[in-house]
Chains A and B, each alone.
Chain A
């Protein structure tokens, strides 16, 4: 591999050294200089986690070939401050709680610093525009905006810098106190090491060959050419699994590596360990797989027919059906003054945590298989891994590395098994970092759903009966489908006392990307349908939407949809507070729009308009 000589300034130090000529600035900083505060979230200039200054200008280091910055002055997040000596921007981020998982935060801090260096008097709208190239998946940006405005005001001496020391000194209790996040200093300075930032001696790198077919038999895997490549240490397939080869959050049906057949595009087939990521990638291109394509199943309605089976052993494509029955819906609908019937659907979405999947595995001095990864459930992973590797449970150790966002996506154990196989086989540490593309194609998504809904009501808004049927595409493997169907069923009919209810949620296998755990876990999908129905009813019965919900809201002592007696129910209180908070203008949901009296309050943000501030920018340039 060719090398180039560099002579440049990094964080005030002159650096003269050679590096790989194909490296991006990001690789040079992280791999050669161990400046791991600069993160890789997407590798395509979309997320901003890799933001650095080149000659004072904010750039995305994943898009910059290192050769191009030769002779330049580079500043990374490490130059801005340390946990003991933070910059104004970093202190402000700690103050407002602007860091959650922290993975986007070094980039955010760089973008905020750039914004205030370019214009120390930036308005909120300018701050938002300047930071528009940096994605945060946790915070919703509010606390970040707040932080940048505080930092701006301190820099401009409009606010005293002792605002940063503001510390909630409780008279009686730390409960209910806005104690500053204890992990914030390590996050805003880029000090915290995520799995991709870790290195071990003699470490090998893993890369994974994935299926490009949605449903196919694997006739042959030819590794011979790949294994001959210099720097390739070994490779593993399904044949290398010593124990019971399946895992899953609820249904354990997924093999560590595809066994005999592939069930979705992106499924892992071969894992290679090599001395470098580049060699491991090259090895993948030399592996030959012979497939025999099978008929595919992409629609959940088709899956119900069981003509094509995704998992032959199960004789059905239904992963889980959850029924809920309460009262008698025929009697309920007979009593109704109006009946509303409609259909709703929701799409699959990606977790898009900013930290792509990553991990390190090794076998320790006592023979304990150890896996370090940003997993949301190492307790369960340990159980499954012991079974897969045929080891006693205390010979498997999981260590949680800082999680750069999860939202349910990091509950599945989809790559730790491969790391374990290679670590046991080579007795060397193995590291794996997914690219964003690999993460998107291989990991589980939010369950897409189709819901048919029928609701009967009296003229006063009281619900007499509800019938809901939700069909959901669980994709190729069970993952969390069972649990998601359960939660969707239990909560789906909403926070309302309904005497007559028939609810069914059904999750099925298809050859689509698996669906899995995702924040709000099925309840988001079914409650969306219910809350849309409540507004349809509000219009039909000419009732205010708060009112119709109050008529039906649970009260203490009511029986839930699963016939559990509630020991408390704050819904009426919540509705009252919400109505006051937004100064709701009463009226039915009948497209009142501009006639409403509660619009355009200062609680809204400004609406974005094309060309806003173009004039001010132009005048600044002309100066």
Chain B
């Protein structure tokens, strides 16, 4: 390793609130057990890349006893689907996930009531999973496709459900800020390992260890994807990105001037999910979208200090800032030795 390259590590912790801040939050969803043992979910969900559609398919499959690949999720359309509000505030898994779970429970209860009649068993003995429905303690077991046929053809019932999930938040007191902005909180921490080149001021981020409480993790790979993506966005914030303005005009007006992290700039990310289920909601899941990127930048700044003894307090930590801080440090220690 080059003599000018110095390594160091730093850590930072973080916390975050789930769903809309200091205001009531609500989401609605409709569910139907459909022909062929499939399911239809309609809700105003906004897939922005985080994987919420897959999460909802898993929730619906779990609650209805169908296979996730047999769940159809309708378009988000203000004239055709119930309100589930925005994709933001790390709220969709928590708000819409729970709304879908509750709507599915209603639909399933309607189906179960007919099947219990059909088999003359107690409804409590009925279970459904992965495309099958059965009665515990009996030999009754049929595919869901069969069950829905019986429910419709013999009893004339379409098993549908429509529900809402509310997260109860209050506004902040205007003078002292007291209030209950969220009902669920998540916590996280990250460690960064950097290599700082004291000759060029360049920082390479080599490793991030990320540990986040997400409540119950519905799709762990999806959670990892959110953490990795959040970390790398924060790498941009910490080390390279800057929307520069001079008298209101930008000099970073295209992607040649506005520098984003590429495959060569990113660290290896090791994620550990901590599950502290939310005690207040049916699924116990919380969220990860935004909290994933909160501890990264301070962990990197703390690592830079560990490596070369200069503290960058103004983001981003560009090579120019690091070099000038190193020079300042050298000047101070020189003065000290002279005095």
Q: Tell me, yes or no, whether A377 is within 8 Å of chain B by CB.
A: yes
**Cβ-defined contact, B13 with A575, below 8 A:** yes
**Closest A residue, CB atoms, query B268:** A605
Task: Establish whether residues A400 and B254, one from each chain, have CB atoms under 8 Å apart when the complex forms.
Answer: no
Q: B77 contacts A578, CB within 8 Å?
A: no
Contact bitstring A140-170, B, C-beta under 8 A = 1, else 0? 1111110000000000000000000000001
B297 touches A524 (CB 8 A): yes
Q: Does A394 contact B (CB under 8 A)?
A: yes
Task: Determine if B132 is an interface residue (Cβ-Cβ < 8 Å).
Answer: no
* CB-based contact B187/A569 at 8 Å: yes
**Residues A177 and B58 in contact, CB atoms below 8 Å apart:** yes
| In the complex, B229 has a CB within 8 A of chain A | yes
For the complex of A and B, 4 pairs with smallest distance between CB atoms? A101-B49, A214-B248, A531-B298, A324-B177
Q: A131-B263, A179-B54, A441-B253 are in contact. Are A563 and B178 (CB under 8 A)?
A: yes
Q: How far is the CA of A573 from the CA of B129 in the complex (A)?
A: 33
Known pairs A173-B62, A564-B180; A140 contacts B50 (CB<8 A): no
Known: A176-B220, A491-B17. A325 touches B130 (CB 8 A): no
Chain B neighbourhood of A571, CB < 8 A: 13, 15, 187, 189, 213
Q: Which residues of B contact A178 (CB under 8 A)?
A: 219-222
Which residue on chain A has the smallest CB distance to residue B213?
A570
Contact A512 B7 (CB under 8 A): no
A436 touching B48 in the complex, CB below 8 Å, given contacts A175-B218, A524-B237, A603-B270 = no
Partner of A440, one of B242, B250, B308: B250
Q: A346 near B68 (CB under 8 angstroms)? A: no
- Of A325, A519, A584, A603, the contact of B230 (CB 8 Å cutoff): A519
- Contact assessment for A411 and B88 in the assembled complex, using a CB-CB cutoff below 8 Å: yes
Instruction: Judge if B307 is at the interface, Cβ distance under 8 Å.
Output: yes
Considering the chains assembled together, what is the distance between the CA atoms of A271 and B300 in angstroms? 44
- How far, in whole Å, are A298 and B232 apart by their CA atoms in the complex? 30
| Choice from B50, B258, B266, B294 contacting A520 with Cβ under 8 Å | B294
Within 8 A of B (CB), among A152-207: 170, 172-183
Apart from A573-B276, A593-B306, 8 more pairs, CB < 8 Å: A44-B256, A100-B51, A141-B266, A176-B220, A406-B49, A411-B86, A568-B279, A598-B9
Binding site for A on B (CB under 8 A): 1, 5-17, 21-22, 44, 46-51, 53-54, 57-59, 61-62, 68-69, 71, 73, 75-79, 83-89, 129-130, 172, 174-181, 183, 185-191, 193, 195, 204, 206-207, 209-213, 216-222, 224-225, 227-234, 236-237, 241-243, 245, 247-250, 252-256, 258, 260, 262-264, 266-270, 272, 274, 276, 278-280, 283, 289-291, 293-295, 297-299, 301-302, 305-309, 311, 313-316
Q: Using Cβ atoms and an 8 Å threshold, which residues of chain A touch B270?
A: 581-582, 603
Could you tell me if A129 and B264 are in contact, using CB atoms closer than 8 angstroms?
A: yes
Main secondary structure of the interface of A (DSSP, over half): loop
**Could you say which of A102, A132, A177, A436 has the most chain B C-beta atoms within 10 Å of its C-beta?**
A177
Which of A44, A137, A181, A598 contacts B51, CB < 8 Å? A181
Q: Is A139 an interface residue (CB 8 A)?
A: yes
Contact yes or no, A494 B13, CB < 8 A: yes
Question: Contact flags (1/0) for A568-588 with B, using CB distance below 8 Å?
Answer: 111101110110011011000
Q: Which of A326, A346, A379, A519 contacts B293 (CB 8 A)?
A: A519
B29 to chain A, nearest CB (A): 14
Q: Which of B78, B305, B308 contacts A397 (CB 8 A)?
A: B78
- In this complex, the member of A377, A487, A535 whose beta carbon has the largest number of chain B beta carbons within 10 angstroms is A535
A575 touches B179 (CB 8 A): no
- Indicate which residue in A97, A182, A511, A607 contacts B204 across the interface (CB closer than 8 Å): A607
Minimum CB–CB distance for B293 against chain A, Å: 5
A347 near B: Cβ within 8 Å? Answer: yes
CB < 8 Å neighbour of B262 from A132, A531, A599: A132
A531 CB contact (under 8 Å) in B12, B130, B290? B12
With CB as the reference atom, state the residue of chain B lying closest to A371: B78
Decide if A296 is an interface residue (CB 8 Å cutoff).
yes
Q: Give every chain B residue within 8 A of A406 (Cβ-Cβ).
A: 48-49, 87
Closest B residue, CB atoms, query A368: B79
Which B residues lie within 8 Å of A569 (CB)?
185, 187
Closest B residue to A503 by beta carbon equals: B177
Q: Does A418 contact B (CB under 8 A)?
A: no
Q: Are A566 and B185 in contact, with the CB atoms below 8 A?
A: yes
Residues in A neighbouring B183, C-beta threshold 8 A: 567
* Shortest beta-carbon distance from B139 to chain A in Å: 21
The smallest C-beta distance from A167 to any residue of chain B, in angstroms, reads: 9
Closest chain-B Cβ to A389's Cβ sits at a distance in Å of 14
> Judging by beta carbons under 8 Å apart, are B8 and A143 in contact?
no
Interface size on A, residues (CB 8 A): 155
Residue A608, interface by CB 8 Å: yes
**Cβ of A410 under 8 Å from chain B:** yes
A77 located at the interface, meaning its Cβ lies under 8 Å from any Cβ of chain B in the complex: no
| A96-136 contact mask (Cβ, 8 Å, vs B): 1 or 0 | 11001110000000000000000000000001110111110
Which chain B residue has the least Cβ–Cβ distance from A522? B21
User: Who on chain A is nearest to B130 by CB?
Assistant: A170
Which residues of chain A are near B204, meaning CB under 8 Å? 607-608
Given contacts A441-B253, A513-B250, contact A570 B172 (CB under 8 A): no
Q: Determine whether the beta carbon of A140 is less than 8 Å from that of B243.
A: no
Cβ-closest chain B residue relative to A445 = B243
Q: Name the contact of B14 in the complex, choosing from A397, A495, A532, A563 (C-beta under 8 A).
A: A495
B71 to A: closest C-beta gap in Å: 8
The residue on A at minimum CB distance from B169 is A564
Whether A495 contacts B254 by the Cβ 8 Å rule is: no
Judged by a CB distance under 8 angstroms, whether A521 is at the interface is: yes
Q: How far is it, in angstroms, between the C-alpha of A545 and the C-alpha of B180 when the chains are bound?
A: 30
| A/B interface sample: 17 pairs, CB < 8 A | A140-B269, A181-B53, A181-B222, A376-B87, A377-B85, A486-B181, A490-B17, A524-B293, A524-B294, A527-B294, A534-B12, A562-B179, A567-B280, A584-B11, A591-B8, A599-B8, A607-B1
Q: Does residue A242 face the partner (Cβ distance < 8 Å to B)? A: no
A554 and B185 alpha carbons, distance in the complex (Å): 11
With a cutoff of 8 Å between Cβ atoms, the chain B residues found around residue A581 in the complex are 191, 209, 211, 270, 272
* Given A524-B293, A571-B15: A604 touches B228 (CB 8 Å cut-off): no
- Judge whether A604 and B313 touch: CB under 8 Å: no
CB distance from B143 to the nearest CB of A (A): 17
Contact check, A494 vs B10: say whether CB atoms are below 8 A apart.
no
Given A399-B76, A532-B311, A214 contacting B187 (CB threshold 8 A): no
